[in-house]
C-alpha cells in the first residue's frame, strides 16, 4: 500500500510502500510539508483499519496523550480538540507486543483532519498546527474542545478565542456541590465586567447536556454549560477526579491560546477565591 502527498492543503503526509497483513507492525515514514525531515510511525492493520503507535504519535506529532489505563482510556489532545480513545474497543485501539496502537481516524480527528484509505494508498491531511504540544500549566497551550451545550449546539474553544480571551471553569455540579455552586455564582456576578472586557466564559461538566438545566435556572446563569460526557476535556486539562467529576477549577486563556491562570479548588470545604481572575484580565487588556 502506497501513501503519498496530496496537494490540497495537506500538512502531514504519510508516505510508504507497505505490505498490510493482519497484526503486522510496520514503520511508516512521516513527511512534513515544507521540510526535509522525516520520522517514522509504527503501524498495525486489522480488518482494513490502520492503527498508529501511541508512543510514536506523541513523540513525532504535536499531540499530547493523557493516559488513564485504570479508566480504560487515553485522551489525544491538541489545540483543536480532546479526543477519547477507549482501549477496550477493538475499533479504536490495538495492542501489539505490549505497545498500544490507536486508530488513525482518531488521530486525524484530533488534528482536525481526516484519513483516506484506498486499496493503493493512505493519506492523512490536516490544517496547520502549532509546533508546541498542549499542556495544563500556566504558559502551556490550552487543550482545545468542541462540546455541546444544553441547547444541543457545539461550542468551540478556537472559535471563542478568535473573539478574545476565554475563562474556562470546570465543575462537579451546580446543584449538589457547594464549591461548584459558589464558583458558578462568582463567575456570574462578574459577567458584566468580563463581557465588557471582551472575555468569553464557559463551564464544563461531565454530565449529560440536560442535567445542567436545573442549576442554570436556579443560579440564573447566562454563560454556556458544556457537557463533556467522556471526560476527555477534564483529563486534557488535568482536573479529572473520578467518575464523571472534575476538581472545581478556573483557567484563563489568552487570545493566542496560552493558559495565563490556573486555579484548582480540590478541597471540598473551602469557598473558591477567584479574585486573581480580574487582575489577569486587566493585564491581558493592558490596563
What is the domain partition of the chain in residue ranges? 12-125, 146-284
Within the chain, where are the H helices? 54-60, 104-110, 157-161, 178-189, 191-196, 213-219, 232-236, 276-284
Core vs surface per residue 98-111: b (16+ CB within 10 A) or e: eebbbbbbbbbbbb
Q: Which residues pair with 261 in a beta bridge?
A: 252
Report pLDDT digits (tens) over 83-98.
999 999 999 999 998 8
Q: With a cut of 90, say whether residue 19 has pLDDT above it.
A: no
Is 112 in a helix, a strand, or coil?
Answer: coil
What is the bridge-based pairing of β-strands 200-205 and 166-170? Answer: parallel
CB atoms within 10 A of CB 152: 9
CA distances (Å), origin 206, targets 80, 119, 219, 221, 245: 19, 40, 19, 18, 6
The CATH class of the 146-284 domain is alpha beta
Residues 171 and 265: beta-carbon distance below 8 Å: no
Report pLDDT digits (tens) over 147-187.
999 667 899 999 999 999 999 999 999 999 999 999 999 99
Nearest to 23, CA basis, from 49, 44, 9, 8? 44
Q: With a cut of 80, say whether residue 128 has pLDDT above it.
A: no
Residues 202 and 223: beta-carbon distance below 8 Å: yes
Maximum pairwise Cα distance, the chain:
62
Average per-residue pLDDT for the chain = 84
Amino acid at each position: 500500500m502506497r501513501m503519498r502527498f496530496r496537494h490540497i492543503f495537506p500538512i502531514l503526509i504519510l508516505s510508504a510502500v507497505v505490505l498490510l497483513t493482519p497484526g503486522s507492525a510496520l514503520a511508516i515514514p512521516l513527511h512534513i510539508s515544507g521540510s526535509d525531515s522525516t520520522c517514522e510511525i509504527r503501524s498495525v492493520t486489522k480488518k482494513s483499519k490502520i492503527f498508529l503507535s501511541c508512543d510514536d504519535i506523541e513523540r513525532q506529532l504535536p499531540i499530547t496523550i493523557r493516559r488513564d489505563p485504570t479508566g480504560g482510556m487515553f485522551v489525544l489532545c491538541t489545540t483543536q480538540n480532546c479526543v477519547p480513545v477507549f482501549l477496550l474497543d477493538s475499533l479504536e485501539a490495538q495492542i501489539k507486543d505490549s505497545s498500544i496502537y490507536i486508530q488513525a481516524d482518531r488521530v486525524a480527528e484530533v488534528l482536525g483532519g481526516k484519513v483516506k484509505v484506498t486499496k493503493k494508498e493512505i493519506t492523512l491531511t490536516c490544517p496547520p498546527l502549532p509546533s508546541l504540544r498542549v499542556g495544563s500549566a500556566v504558559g502551556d497551550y490550552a487543550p482545545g474542545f468542541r462540546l455541546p451545550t444544553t441547547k444541543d449546539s457545539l461550542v468551540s474553544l478556537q472559535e471563542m478565542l478568535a473573539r478574545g480571551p476565554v475563562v474556562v471553569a470546570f465543575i462537579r455540579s451546580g446543584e449538589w456541590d457547594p464549591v461548584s455552586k459558589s464558583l458558578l455564582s462568582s463567575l456570574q456576578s462578574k459577567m458584566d465586567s468580563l463581557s465588557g472586557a471582551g472575555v468569553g466564559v464557559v463551564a464544563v461538566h461531565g454530565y449529560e447536556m440536560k442535567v445542567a438545566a436545573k442549576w442554570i435556572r436556579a443560579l440564573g446563569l447566562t454563560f454556556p454549560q458544556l457537557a463533556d460526557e467522556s471526560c476527555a476535556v477534564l483529563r486534557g486539562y488535568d482536573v479529572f477526579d473520578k467518575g464523571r467529576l472534575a476538581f472545581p477549577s478556573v483557567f484563563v486563556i489568552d487570545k493566542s491560546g496560552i493558559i495565563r491562570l490556573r486555579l484548582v479548588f480540590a478541597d471540598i470545604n473551602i469557598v473558591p477565591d477567584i479574585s486573581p481572575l480580574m487582575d489577569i484580565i486587566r493585564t491581558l487588556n493592558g490596563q
